[in-house]
Structure 1
Amino acid sequence: MGLYTSLVAHGAFPVHERLKGHPTVPLRKALEATQWWAPAALENLQLTRLQILLERVAQQVPFYRQWFADQDWSPRALTSLADLERLPVIDKAVLRQAGAGWRAEGAQGLVAQRTSGSTGEPLAFWLGHERIAMDIAAKWRATRWWGVDIGDRELVLWGAPNETDVQNRLRSWRDRVLRSRLVPARDLDRARVDAIIDQIREFRPRMIFGYPSVLARVCARAREQGRCLDDLGIRVAFTTSEVLRPEWRAIITDVLGCGVANEYGGRDAGLIARECPHGGLHLTAEALIVEILDDAGRPLPAGATGQIVVTNLMGPEYPFIRYRTGDRGALDPAPCPCGRGLPLLREIEGRANDGLVALDGRWVHGSHFNYCLREIAGLRSYKIIQHAPDRVELLLVLDEPLAEAVAQGLRRAFTQALGESLTMEIRQVEAIAPEAGGKHRHVVCRVQ
């Protein structure tokens, strides 16, 4: 670890977190110890934290107080992790319907959050400082698995407008101190991709973080041009928000000359899993419990693919208990060669975040539209289908009729992104059916 990185990782960043009221450093240190615990010891820790969580929500969260009363059941009766199956499975629709009744009574200092809508169903919710700190600590621990740390040069390829266009002075100052450079990953025509390659060579990051589809596109362009990126000292590329397809992993590894670490999680459920250098996709078992359920809500054995349901153990202020993520996956019963006792995900299905093809051939990442659509009042879900380069269909499930001014704003946003001659059909529907294989995809591009 270089001197500057050490000063940031052990000085500047811990101070930053303390000023925000986040106990991130002690949580990370604890995680770096518990990751080596035996699976049975981790399960005991989960059980203890689950009991504490349920006792708090039964007292403070109106929904669960009523539910426990209706069931004539007390959290004190929970004696094993299997008892978790007695609680209801929830999803975004349940949380929306509950509204403010899902927040713990008397909870103070909560931070408003909103998902990006990458599943086609944006959600507004609130998190407490300990829950936020645990997510940061878990990500920090997993970053250190790869021999990099906070303060090492990091290049972030991201497409969220609220994180690229509205950087305030504090965020800009923080990123400069942490040596983290945010590069917008939108409108990826050849000139834009070439500019990103230039920035990678100039910045010489130790780690890269971003959408795997974008990283793969950048690497394919570099290979096409014969430009070298494997001589920069990049240690790892962290990929998130999409299924990491094998061909994407292969080209990123080959062109950047580094490891690729898949990440799975979200602002709502938390950092669920991250990949270690030995290839294990480790669950953050100290902070959450992952179940794999069949379509009838019954638990499946390790190795079987089903719905991923998460219980976050750190957020009693706005609990995510048996929360259906909308993704499918399987647990891996085999231990990881790295020796950590953390359980593993074997595979993840879903999260395919397609982009759309503009009329001039540019590729526009799906996140560009997530952040446009999620602000619509009363939006329950949506789906974008590009049938042809000049024809897009938008399906919306709303609580009330779509205002004409909002529809005009949507058409304006889509034509600005894809081309002025775009034909766009907006349809308000009662429900959006899954794809033939049962997966829900919110952006579908049928353009070759």
Structure 2
Amino acid sequence: MNWFKISLQLNKFPINRAQKLLREIQKLPEEGYREYLEKQRKEIVEYHLIHNPFYQKFFGNKYFNSWEEVPVMQKSDLQRPLKERLSNSFSKSNSYVGKTSGSSGHPFIFAKDRFCHALTWAEFIDRYHWIDINLNQSLQARFYGIPLDFYGNMTERFKDRVSLRRRFNVFDLSEKKMLEFLERFRKSKFDYVNGYTSAIVLFAKYLEKHQFILKEICPSLKVCIVTSEKLFDNDRTLIERSFGVPVVNEYGASEVGLISFENSSKEWIVNSEGLFIEILDENNRVLPFGEEGRIVITSLYNKAHPMIRYEIGDTGTLCRSSTWKRPVLENLTGRTNDVARLANGKVVPGLTFYYVTKSIIEDAGSIKEFVIIQTEPDTFKIEYVSEKEFTLLQHQKILAAIETFVGKDLKVNFERMDVLVRNKSGKLKQFTSLI
């Protein structure tokens, strides 16, 4: 029984029609794909210029002349009541309504028309087939957070049950809870793991510490999909070694859906069917393939709410070999707001701190997780979960690495924690600036 598809249909999401359109788009030849994208992005702009008063005002012109004139949309532009942003004839009752996690610091409520939401799921179904996962049949071990209020909690658990998902709550990642996780894998025939990178890495460390291979405990396990947080190469190696299955990297956002998905060659294939992806510089000019900039996304089929030249809040690069039909995301550097501004005026990507300290910290073996917080222009705090305190030698090595790769005369405080604070959705932010 195709329970997942049936649940979409019962909620009036036309999944069959969406899958039919997806197949038609995928059949388009490379030489005609640019024409498809230009036609579709023009149509979605013109639709909202006619039917969406909010977008009419935001756009500042009655007519579409050229794509370069289309304004870039920031998350802050959307932080107003949803009813003010919906297109004519759309409402909360006839749309899919969701809320972003707020990991960028700018949470907001968004909407998709039912066909657009169905197309998002058609894209997920298609990509999961690449790794032999069938959303109608495959059982998922889901490492995510869950709403704590009664209604939200019950709603999410019902959705999990219908969607063949079994929730592993990432708000409690103690050793006792990890043992409970392990027993669930012993008793269930999970096909795949899906969830936040940091939580899955922590479970992998637990497995390695106790010399378990998850595939041996749960032989039905095929693959692990990580999402929402950066996957470092050594973490991929750890997960694959501890789980005994390949790791696949997924990049998406609730407000636009699937952005890119890793294929068997470890290429991050961008979703060019339902989205149009651009890399822009600080002046909103399109950068050529191979250059790093701000990731800007257009949802080509969302008629309920404009997501047009929408800055997602991440920085990245499209591979030089990318084409209109087959763009490849070469790297995802981090969030545009995750930068450290030093007292001398220097601006440093926040993940630089994470990179330079990660290998040193993990040499100790007992470090489970850590985050870096900038509290002053010259002061940083490293919060970490560990079996024992950092040694003086570890302190000195970290300070030396930061001085080499970031700057001199910086103060670094260390605080050992029992557990690190995650946001409401369960994500762990690796670097935060409080400046």
- Using structure 2 for the length normalisation, give the TM-score: 0.73
Q: Using a 3 Å threshold, how does the CA distance of structure 1 residues 99 and 199 change in structure 2: closer, same or farther? A: closer
2:181 pairs with 1:196: yes
2:46 pairs with 1:62: no
CA contact (8 A) 1:32 1:141 kept: no
User: 330, 333, 344: which one pairs with 1:346?
Assistant: 330
Match of 1:412 in 2: none
2:215 pairs with 1:235: no
2:278 pairs with 1:291: yes
Match of 1:161 in 2: 147
Match of 2:120 in 1: 135
Residues in 1 aligned to 2:26 and 2:149: alpha-carbon distance in whole angstroms: 32
2:105 pairs with 1:120: yes
- SS of corresponding position for 1:282: strand
User: 289, 310, 324: which one pairs with 1:302?
Assistant: 289
Match of 1:44 in 2: 35
Partner deviation per Cα, 1:388-427 (whole Å, 9 max, x = no partner): 579xxxxxxxxxxxxxxxxxxxxxxxxxxx789x9x9xxx
Match of 1:225 in 2: 210
Residues in 1 aligned to 2:40 and 2:200: alpha-carbon distance in whole angstroms: 38
2:69 pairs with 1:86: yes
Residues in 2 aligned to 1:51 and 1:200: alpha-carbon distance in whole angstroms: 49
Cα offset, 1:37, TM superposition: 4.1
Amino acid aligned to 1:263: E
Residues in 2 aligned to 1:98 and 1:172: alpha-carbon distance in whole angstroms: 28
Match of 2:312 in 1: 325
Amino acid aligned to 2:313: G
Residues in 2 aligned to 1:303 and 1:92: alpha-carbon distance in whole angstroms: 26
Q: Using a 3 Å threshold, how does the CA distance of structure 1 residues 65 and 182 change in structure 2: closer, same or farther? A: same
- SS of corresponding position for 1:218: helix
Residues in 2 aligned to 1:177 and 1:251: alpha-carbon distance in whole angstroms: 32
Unaligned ranges ≥5, structure 2: 339-349, 355-365, 372-379, 386-416, 422-427
CA contact (8 A) 2:207 2:213 kept: yes
Match of 2:89 in 1: 106
- SS of corresponding position for 1:292: strand
Residues in 2 aligned to 1:53 and 1:296: alpha-carbon distance in whole angstroms: 24
- SS of corresponding position for 1:208: strand
Residues in 1 aligned to 2:102 and 2:7: alpha-carbon distance in whole angstroms: 29
Amino acid aligned to 2:113: G
- SS of corresponding position for 1:116: coil
Q: Using a 3 Å threshold, how does the CA distance of structure 1 residues 335 and 444 change in structure 2: closer, same or farther? A: closer
Amino acid aligned to 2:75: K
Partner deviation per Cα, 1:165-214 (whole Å, 9 max, x = no partner): 8443x764554454321110123122222222222232231111011121
Q: Using a 3 Å threshold, how does the CA distance of structure 1 residues 324 and 176 change in structure 2: closer, same or farther? A: closer
Cα offset, 1:125, TM superposition: 2.1
CA contact (8 A) 1:39 1:343 kept: no
Match of 2:252 in 1: 265
Residues in 2 aligned to 1:165 and 1:257: alpha-carbon distance in whole angstroms: 37
Partner deviation per Cα, 1:93-144 (whole Å, 9 max, x = no partner): 1112586432212224123321111112211222221121121111111111
2:59 pairs with 1:74: no
Residues in 2 aligned to 1:211 and 1:35: alpha-carbon distance in whole angstroms: 29
Residues in 2 aligned to 1:179 and 1:161: alpha-carbon distance in whole angstroms: 18
Match of 1:435 in 2: none
CA contact (8 A) 1:213 1:248 kept: no
Amino acid aligned to 1:42: Y
User: 236, 239, 242: which one pairs with 1:252?
Assistant: 239
Cα offset, 1:271, TM superposition: 1.4
CA contact (8 A) 1:164 1:182 kept: no
Cα offset, 1:45, TM superposition: 2.2
Match of 1:379 in 2: none
Q: Using a 3 Å threshold, how does the CA distance of structure 1 residues 249 and 25 change in structure 2: closer, same or farther? A: farther
Amino acid aligned to 1:225: H
Q: Using a 3 Å threshold, how does the CA distance of structure 1 residues 389 and 308 change in structure 2: closer, same or farther? A: closer
Residues in 2 aligned to 1:148 and 1:157: alpha-carbon distance in whole angstroms: 17
CA contact (8 A) 1:264 1:272 kept: yes
Residues in 2 aligned to 1:132 and 1:249: alpha-carbon distance in whole angstroms: 30
Q: Sequence identity, in percent?
A: 24
Count of residues in correspondence between the two structures: 357
Unaligned ranges ≥5, structure 1: 1-6, 78-82, 356-360, 367-384, 391-417, 425-440
- Using structure 1 for the length normalisation, give the TM-score: 0.71
Structure 2 counterparts to residues 1-20 of structure 1, below 5 A: 7-8=1-2, 12-20=3-11
Cα offset, 1:323, TM superposition: 0.7
Residues in 2 aligned to 1:300 and 1:325: alpha-carbon distance in whole angstroms: 16
Cα offset, 1:22, TM superposition: 0.7
- SS of corresponding position for 2:215: coil
Match of 2:172 in 1: 187
Structure 1 stretches of at least 4 aligned residues deviating more than 2 Å after TM superposition: 12-15, 28-45, 63-68, 97-102, 160-168, 170-179, 333-336, 351-355, 361-366, 385-390, 441-446
User: 18, 22, 26: which one pairs with 1:27?
Assistant: 18
Cα offset, 1:163, TM superposition: 9.4
Q: Using a 3 Å threshold, how does the CA distance of structure 1 residues 201 and 165 change in structure 2: closer, same or farther? A: farther
Residues in 1 aligned to 2:215 and 2:253: alpha-carbon distance in whole angstroms: 30
Partner deviation per Cα, 1:285-317 (whole Å, 9 max, x = no partner): 111111101122211110111100101111122
Match of 1:95 in 2: 78
CA contact (8 A) 1:269 1:323 kept: no
Residues in 2 aligned to 1:443 and 1:218: alpha-carbon distance in whole angstroms: 17
- SS of corresponding position for 1:63: helix
2:132 pairs with 1:147: yes
CA contact (8 A) 1:303 1:330 kept: yes
